[in-house]
Amino acid sequence: MIIITNMLPRTISAFSVVGLVLSGIAGALLAQAPQQPATQNPPAEQEPTIRVNVELVNVYFTVKTKKGGQLIPNLTKDDFKVYEDGKEQTIQRFSRETDLPLTLGLLIDISASQERLIDIEREAASSFFSSVIRPKDEAFLISFGKDTVLLQDFTNSARQLTSAMADLRGDGQIPSGGGPIPNTGPVPTMGAPKGTLLFDAVYLASNEKLKSEVGRKALILITDGEDQGSTNTWHSAIESAQKADAIIYSIYYVDRGFYAAAGMFGGGGEGDLKHLSSETGGHVFTVDKKHPLSETFQRIQEELRNQYSIGYQSTNPARDGKFRRLEIKTKDADYQVQARNGYYATPTDAQ
């Protein structure tokens, strides 16, 4: 850390000298005056200070219809019940979150199987940033393939994020600079470059970027879900996201032509993406001819702006680091809640 301090020259003006002389004369006169005994007032009796340290479990979630998946935006606290490890909890805080600051991480797969989709991803993501990022929001951009690269650190500038998108290149493509893409940020690559480090990217984004942030946090993945060579498993990736209180939205985008030309059957990673998203309170969106990428981003934006928040003090006060199962239910049988399935009760986790 570089600390720059402006040092002002110490100067004594003529006014300062006069002030010092007058101050000395006044002091001499006071010394000759008879001294009056100082009266001491008894110390005021201080009221006791009460400090309350209550750790609330906070859960962000959305509610949709079971048929059609339409968002339900106007429910109240009385419409919900929350359970931890099967025991009903008392809801102490409830709100609808539409304008609370949002912290986003966009993780884009640039492995060989995704190279032909990058131009479409670049255009759609740039439009998404322009429409979703507000002055109090922040976002960052990571690409992953054989390496994980932080292309843009936290910013609330859609222009900077769009500019960073220009640096997206597939693992087999030549960057505009003519050399390998440098790791431009503090996100390290775990293990030797091997293939598609999807789980490592989620783990690193959660731990290195989101864990220390507060408020609403989400990761958006654009990938065909195929992981090759990650040091982390999908289990540890999910755990890192849950400990960071991050929701994962997965965009399942497959270049069928790539796999067909290579005589391969690929794009079968949708199951892993469902685990990543459903267990953190997110959703998997599939891009196809009927649902283009631009529409998918719009649906994610609608979910992010139509969330609810519930806060409660757990009936289990132990901060033992163990995983607690969460379930939020609605009174209406036609509705379903999309929320993370639990949290880790660590000492520093007030989520």
pLDDT confidence of residue 19: 43
Compute CA distances 155 → 43, 51, 161, 184, whole Å.
52, 36, 8, 14
Residue 250's nearest CA partner among 299, 190, 305 is 299
Question: Is the predicted pLDDT of residue 13 greater than 70, yes or no?
Answer: no
- Provide the total of helices (H) and of strands (E) in the chain, helices listed first: 8, 14
Compute CA distances 265 → 255, 259, 260, 305, whole Å.
11, 6, 7, 37
135 contacts: CB under 8 Å, gap ≥ 6: 156
CATH of 102-305, one of 2.60.40.420, 1.20.58.1690, 3.40.50.920, 3.40.50.410: 3.40.50.410
pLDDT tens digits, residue range 120-138? Answer: 999 999 999 999 999 999 9
Residue 337's nearest CA partner among 115, 82, 134 is 82
Q: Read off the pLDDT of each residue in 130-154 and give the average, rounded to a whole number.
A: 95
pLDDT confidence of residue 10: 35
pLDDT tens digits, residue range 229-282? Answer: 999 999 999 999 999 999 999 999 999 888 888 777 766 789 999 999 999 999
pLDDT tens digits, residue range 93-105? Answer: 999 987 789 999 9
Question: Is the predicted pLDDT of residue 190 greater than 90, yes or no?
Answer: no
The per-residue pLDDT of the chain, averaged, comes to 82
Structure tokens at 276: 């990543």
Question: Is the predicted pLDDT of residue 91 greater than 50, yes or no?
Answer: yes
Rounded Cα distance between 65 and 58, Å, is 23
pLDDT confidence of residue 107: 98
pLDDT confidence of residue 225: 94
Are 168 and 151 within 8 A, CB to CB?
A: yes
pLDDT confidence of residue 260: 81
Q: What is the CA radius of gyration of the chain?
A: 28
Rounded Cα distance between 41 and 39, Å, is 6
Query: Where, residue-wise, is CATH 3.40.50.410 in the chain?
Result: 102-305
pLDDT confidence of residue 97: 85
